[in-house]
Amino acid sequence: MKRIGRLYHLNKKRVSYEPGTASFKKYDAKLRDKIAEIEALTCEKHDHPGQTAVIESVKNHWAGLIVFVDNPEVDMASSL
């Protein structure tokens, strides 16, 4: 939950600036770094069946979950 909260924070900061500006690019890079960290977690082995099910769901829906990253006009909440 903390990781998702961090994504919301970074994306809110990012979209408060015009795309292409230095500030937008700064927060865009930070957001993409955090997305990459979360994606890396989906590659780790999880022993608890509940964790495995959640991770598999995230993997199956990954493209839809991150659509807001390349499309800042899309509300993040509608992706997640």
Check residue 79 and give its pLDDT: 65
Closest CA to 68 of 11, 20, 27: 11
pLDDT tens for residues 49-73? 778 888 888 889 998 999 999 999 9
pLDDT tens for residues 21-39? 999 999 999 999 999 999 9
